[in-house]
Amino acid sequence: MIRLVMGCIGIVLGLSGCPGAVASEAGRLPMGYRVAPAGYPWTGRLHAIGFRTTADANRRGVLHLWEAGERLDQRDTDTRRLYLGGTRLTPLRWPAIDAEAKQHLNIDPTTGQPDTHGADRLSWLRGNRPNPLMRPRDTRLASAAGARVHVVAPPAWQPMQPGHTAFRNAHALRPTTVWLGTRDGILHSFDAMTGRERAGYLPRAALAEAAALTAVGTRVPAPPCPRPHSVDADPNGRWRTLLLCATPATARTPGTAFVLDVSTPDADTPIQLIWEVTGSDALPLTGSGPLRAAMLRVDNERRWFAVGILAPGTPAGARAALALLPLDRPAGAWATTGRVPRLPLPEQGCDSKTATTQLLAVTVRSDASGAARAAYAIDDVGRLWRFPLDALGADTPPATCLHRQTASRRGSVEPPVITYTGATPLIVYGTGNAVSAIPDHTEKPANPRQIRAIPSGNGVVLRAVPSSDPPGTTGWTLALPHPGEQIETLDAASPAHLSFTTLAPDGRARSYLIDAATGESVTVLQADGKPGAAITGLPFDPAFGGPFVSLSPVIEGATPAPGISRRDVHSLALWQVDGDGAYLQQHAYLTRRRGRLGWRELIRTPL
In a domain, 44, yes or no: yes
Give the number of other Cβ atoms within 10 Å of residue 15's Cβ.
16
Q: Are residues 332 and 224 in the same domain?
A: no
Task: Report if residue 88 sits inside a domain.
Answer: yes
For the chain, the domain total comes to 2
Report the alpha-carbon angle 166-167-169, nearest 5: 65
Q: Say if residue 143 is in the same domain as residue 19.
A: yes
Residue 263 located in a structural domain? no
Q: Quote the distance between the C-alpha of residue 153 and its chain's center.
A: 14
pLDDT at res. 110: 93
Exposure string (b/e) for 125-156, b if CB count within 10 Å is 16 or more? bbbeeeeeebbebebbbbbbbebbbbbbbbbb
User: Strand pairing partners for 476?
Assistant: 437, 449
In this structure, the answer to whether residues 86 and 145 fall within a common structural domain is yes
Residue 150 CB partners (closer than 8 Å, separation 6+): 5, 178, 179, 180, 227, 228, 229, 230, 243
Query: Collapsing DSSP states into helix, strand and coil, what is residue 164?
Result: helix
The whole-angstrom separation of Cα 585 and Cα 575 is 6
Q: Which residues of the chain have pLDDT under 50?
A: 1-23, 597-607
- Distances 372 to 187, 295, 325, 392, 417 between C-alpha atoms, Å: 28, 5, 14, 11, 15
Q: Are residues 110 and 199 in the same domain?
A: yes
Specify whether 56 is located in the same domain as 189: yes
Nearest to 482 by CA among 465, 507, 518: 507
Q: Which of 167, 202, 230 is where one domain is finished?
A: 230
* 565 part of a folded domain: no
pLDDT of residue 37: 96
Nearby residues of 299 by Cβ (< 8 Å), 6 or more positions away? none
Q: What is the pLDDT of residue 600?
A: 45
Closest CA to 448 of 478, 408, 424, 418: 478
Q: How far is CA 241 from the centre of its chain?
A: 16
pLDDT in tens, 443-453: 777 789 999 99
Distance, in Å, from the CA atom of 570 to the CA atom of 207, rounded to the nearest integer, reads 46
| Segment holding 82, helix H or strand E | strand 82-84
- 296: containing domain: 279-404
438 in a structural domain? no
For residues 348 and 212, state if they share a domain. Answer: no
Looking at residue 83, its pLDDT comes to: 99
Are residues 35 and 179 located together in one domain of the fold? Answer: yes
Do residues 76 and 214 both lie within one domain? yes
Question: Is 172 among the domain residues?
Answer: yes
Count other C-beta atoms under 10 Å from residue 568's C-beta: 17
218 with 298, same domain: the answer is no
Residues 287 and 221 in one domain: no
CB atoms within 10 A of CB 157: 13
Q: What residues contact residue 78 under an 8 Å CB cut-off, 6+ apart?
A: none
Query: Residue 246: which H helix or E strand, with range?
Result: strand 240-247
Q: Residue 538: inside a domain, yes or no?
A: no
**What pLDDT does 8 receive?**
42
| Contact between 213 and 220 (Cβ < 8 Å) | yes
pLDDT for residue 409 = 60
- Boundary residue ending a domain (213, 230, 247): 230
Distance CA 248, CA 146 (A): 12
Residue 35 to residue 45: CA distance in whole angstroms: 6
Examine the fold and report which residue of 209, 230, 251 is the final residue of a domain before the chain moves on.
230
| C-alpha pair distances (Å), 152 with each of 223, 232, 243, 261, 580 | 19, 10, 9, 12, 27
**Calpha distance 283→237 (Å, rounded):** 27
Q: State whether 54 and 152 are in the same domain.
A: yes
Element housing 242 (H / E): strand 240-247
**Residues 205 and 306 both lie in one domain:** no
Flag whether 108 is in a domain: yes
